[in-house]
Amino acid sequence: MSSSKTAAADGGSRLQLPPGLRDGPQGGAAVCRPVAVAAARPVAEPDTNRDFVSIRGVSKSFLSRSGPVQALSAVDLDIREGEFVSIIGPSGCGKSTLMMMLSGLVPVTTGTIRIGGRSVDRPVPELGIVFQQDVLLEWRTALENILLQAEIRRQNNAAARERARHLLDMVGLTRFADAYPHELSGGMRQRVSICRALLHEPALLVMDEPFGALDALTRDQLQVDLLRLCADRRMTVLFITHSITEAVFLSDRVVVMSPHPGRIEAVIPIELPRPRRLAVRETPAFLSYNHRVTEVFKTLGVLREEED
């Protein structure tokens, strides 16, 4: 695409952004130049035919005291622009390792990872990352925690503040902007974490079991909140979870992984219409997707039942 602008923070690393993130008249570092008002940002349709993330032949071995441990083997996965992809698999199958490699925080042993056409060989600043545990600073308010993202990127200005407030509105925390983390519930804290991850309008949001520590009802609510945020800004999302229902509810595709070493066992497109409401979980189509994922885990021996 000739009109593509880049998010390169320096001359050497150039990352092509999806159309919805190519704001500003001069091009250049989208991460460093906030748009005027997030609420008024024109949302371009993503090019859903273009692979935005490309993971090819990726494996990962760690050296442990008892010798090498192969965490991942021959992982191939492409994620299109604007797509919501979930990875589901048992503990230890390498989900977090894959996320760390995608973020450029851990090197691959073999293979290549590309984001927006650029090979990942260093930490990728254009990502938004959310972990299972929120990492909020207890001495800063919710709003100040979100603005931390802007401070790190030296873009803490009126526009960033306005975007932070818009994000708080989107997740129902308008009244809690000035609350400290200890005054917030677990779900609210995680909402603040998500807002912080989105403040710089990342091209790719990566979430590693973000709702795993929450009670079931809060988890449902955060799933709904996340879908609303995705509809608002049409970003690409890689979401890691242990929950089959969660993966099916949120995703355009569910990637099922097997353990020891971690491999992609199945990729299941979820063709449920959007916007999705919680009630979709009661439909035959939804239950059939749940069933398909469950069957893969049964075949792998990850889920076992007594024979009748």
Picking from 69, 86, 68, the residue whose alpha carbon sits closest to that of residue 77 is 86
Q: Does 91 bind ligand ADP (CB under 6 A)?
A: yes
The answer, yes or no, to whether the previous bond of 210 is cis (omega within 30 of 0) is no
Cβ distance to ligand ADP smaller for residue 93 or 142: 93
Q: CB within 8 A of 278, min separation 6: which ones?
A: 220, 224, 249
Cβ distance to ligand ADP smaller for residue 53 or 164: 53
For the chain, report the end-to-end CA distance as a whole number of angstroms. 58
**Minimum CB distance to ligand ADP, residue 8 (Å):** 29
Q: Does 111 bind ligand ADP (CB under 6 A)?
A: no
When binding is defined by CB under 6 A, the residue of 6, 59, 73, 97 that contacts ligand ADP is 97
- Residues composing the chain: 308
Half-sphere exposure of 14 (CA within 13 A, CB side): 7
Q: Does 263 bind ligand ADP (CB under 6 A)?
A: no
**Minimum CB distance to ligand ADP, residue 131 (Å):** 11
Q: Does 132 bind Mg ion (CB under 5 A)?
A: no
144 membership: H or E segment, kind and range: helix 142-152
Q: Does 299 bind ligand ADP (CB under 6 A)?
A: no
When binding is defined by CB under 6 A, the residue of 39, 69, 216, 278 that contacts ligand ADP is 69
Specify burial of residue 167 (Cβ count, 10 A radius: 0-12, 13-18, 19+). buried
Partner from ligand ADP, Mg ion, none binding residue 64, C-beta < 5-8 Å depending on class: ligand ADP
Q: Which residue is nearest to Mg ion (CB)?
A: 96
- The 10 Å CB-count burial string (b at 16+, else e) for 171-209 is bebeebbeebbeebeebbbbbbbbbbbbbbbbbbbbbbb
Q: Does 210 bind ligand ADP (CB under 6 A)?
A: no
How many residues bind ligand ADP (CB under 6 A)? The answer is 12
264 membership: H or E segment, kind and range: strand 263-269
Task: Report residue 52: phi and psi, to 5°.
Answer: -95, -40
Q: CB within 8 A of 37, min separation 6: which ones?
A: 159, 162, 163, 166
When binding is defined by CB under 5 A, the residue of 70, 96, 243, 290 that contacts Mg ion is 96
When binding is defined by CB under 6 A, the residue of 37, 45, 62, 119 that contacts ligand ADP is 62
Of 66-74, 90-98, 162-170, 254-262, the window that binds Mg ion (rule: CB under 5 A) is: 90-98
CA separation for the pair 88, 254 (Å, rounded): 7
When binding is defined by CB under 6 A, the residue of 5, 22, 80, 95 that contacts ligand ADP is 95
How many residues bind Mg ion (CB under 5 A)? The answer is 2
Q: Does 93 bind ligand ADP (CB under 6 A)?
A: yes
Task: Report residue 43: phi and psi, to 5°.
Answer: -100, 105
Of 86-94, 181-189, 271-279, 298-306, the window that binds ligand ADP (rule: CB under 6 A) is: 86-94
Interface ranges with ligand ADP (CB under 6 A): 62, 64, 69, 71, 89, 91-97
Could you list the residues that contact Mg ion (CB under 5 A)? 95-96
